[in-house]
Structure formats: structure tokens, C-alpha cells
Structure 1
Amino acid sequence: MENIKNALINLQCELVAERNKVNLQNISWIQYDILHLLSEEERLLPSQISTILGISRTKLSKSLRDLKQLSYLEQKPNVQDGRELITMLTADGKALIKNIETGHDKLYEIAGSVFSEEELVLFSELSMRFSKALKDERLKDHE
């Protein structure tokens, strides 16, 4: 068990270091996570973002305000309920995420150099399963 614990800690540290290298605009972790989430989900309510990312509404509000000032996202009233705001990326936000993701290409190269094709498939499947379990556990707390 200690080996897996150390492996997870080391992997997290290395991925954070890699993320720092490609974050040339120096946006915060929370801001990056919000932008990345919106690049996958396209349109979300702040309450959904807060729940999915496991961050407080206060921290989220500050990050959303800052990202709007940087022109990386916009919010529009929800047609069904005007009190709610639909949050989405702007063209600048999409471009920023694309640039950061392009910077992550080195990760794919390194993975391809240390894993066989079969190992890459297995690593991908296991990583996605583990990521989903972490997310499901976090979301379960909000049901």
C-alpha cells in the first residue's frame, strides 16, 4: 500500500510541475480548473462548477469575476431562470486552454517513450477509471 501512496503523491507532484511549465499566463489553479472544465462541458451554472470541482462558492465567485475581467469567460442569464447565470468560455478562454493543452504535448511524448502501446492503453483506462472514482466520490458528498 505504501508504494501506491508514494506513486500517487509523486505523480501528482510531477503533473503539477508540468502544469506550471505551460501556464505562461500565471492563472491560478482554480482558474485553470474552471477553464478546463468549461472546455469540456461548454456551459455550466456556477453551482455546477462549484460541485464538480469541490470548491466553495466564495472561491468560485472570486475566480469567475477575475476570469471575466481577463476576458476568458462570460456569463449570461439562464433562459429558464433569469436568476442563474450560464457560464461559458469566450474565444480568448478557448485559445488560452488550447495553448496550455498544446504545452502538454510533451507529456504525451514522454508517456509514449516509456510505455509500450499496450501499457499506454492500460494506463489510460486505469487513469480514467481512477479520475472518475475521485470525481464520483466528491460529487456524492453533494447529493
Structure 2
Amino acid sequence: MITELTDALMHLQCELVAERNLVNPNEISWLQYDILTALQSHALLPSELSVYLGLSRSKLSKSLVSLRKSNYIKQSPGKSDHRELVTSLTDEGKDLLTKIDVGHEHLSQTAQKVFSATEQRQFIKLSQKLVPILREERVKNEQ
């Protein structure tokens, strides 16, 4: 039996996926977008990306190859172990994320119109509570 919470979460997920499709100009897959977003704050090793995104190394590797061919990422030998490839965004990758982020601004503006300031703070707090748990469960299930 679907509860109101389940129903609300399913509808929110569907709408967020639809919004995501609008802002991604079909240049990259969702997985590739997630990889680029993970690299936005700092460079990572593929093993770190794999754990963070809850992906197998082989699935991640295929996406990294494609992103490298599109010149959205670069990989260079690690400082301590030259066999490890440190993965980071190129300027083209940063530009693509900026373009996509402009599209995300519409979602933020809509939420600001719909939610009061108090509701916005509540939504942020609840999201920050739920998202890490969902990520942690996904990572556990991938292992």
C-alpha cells in the first residue's frame, strides 16, 4: 500500500528527473553528470569516485573514458603513486556544469516562490538529513 509519504517522494523524484532532463542538453548521461558534479569541488581518484557514487569500477571507467574523449575531464598520475590517475575537471567540463547550473536556477526560483522562508529552511534541513542516508545505503548495496 502506498503511503502519502511514498507517494510524495515518488512524485518529487519524477519531477526532479524531468527537470534534470530539461537542463541537460543531452550532451552527457546522468551518470556522467554525477561524476562531473562530484569533481566540482576537487580532484578525485577513480576509487574515491566509485565509492562516492556507489558504482562498480568498470561502470565508472566507461564513463570516465567518454568524459575524457569529450574533454570534460583530465586524468594525471598521482603524486605519491604514479599508477593512480587523479581525475579533475577541464575548463570545458566546468563550462558545461555552469551551463547546466543556469538551468537549475529555474528550479530554485520556483521553490522560492512556492515555499515561505521558514518552509525553505525546513526543506533544506530535511533534505540534508535524508540525502546522506540514501547515499550511504546505496553505497552499502553496491558493495
Q: TM-score, normalised by structure 2?
A: 0.93
Q: 2:30 maps to which residue?
A: 29
Q: Does 1:87 align with 2:122?
A: no
Q: Deviation of residue 4 (structure 1)? A: 1.0
1:88 partner SS:
strand
The separation in 2 between residues aligned to 1:126 and 1:29, in whole angstroms, is 24
Q: Deviation of residue 142 (structure 1)? A: 7.5
Q: Which runs of 4+ in 1 moved over 6 A?
A: none
1:39 partner SS:
coil
Q: Deviation of residue 128 (structure 1)? A: 1.3
Q: Does 1:9 align with 2:10?
A: yes
- What value does the CA root-mean-square deviation take over the aligned residues? 1.6
2:44 partner SS:
coil
Structure 1: which 5+ runs fail to align?
none
Q: What are the Cα deviations for residues 29-88 of structure 1, in whole angstroms up to 9, with x where unaligned?
A: 110000011113x11110111111111111111100000000000001111111111000
Give aligned pairs, total.
Answer: 142
Q: What are the Cα deviations for residues 72-109 of structure 1, in whole angstroms up to 9, with x where unaligned?
A: 00001111111111000001001101110111111111
Q: 2:114 maps to which residue?
A: 114
Q: 1:45 maps to which residue?
A: 45
1:104 partner SS:
helix
| Shift in CA distance, 55/139, structure 1 to aligned 2, threshold 3 Å | closer
| Shift in CA distance, 142/27, structure 1 to aligned 2, threshold 3 Å | closer
Structure 2: which 5+ runs fail to align?
none
Q: 1:71 maps to which residue?
A: 71
Contact between 2:50 and 2:56, CA under 8 Å: does it hold in 1? yes
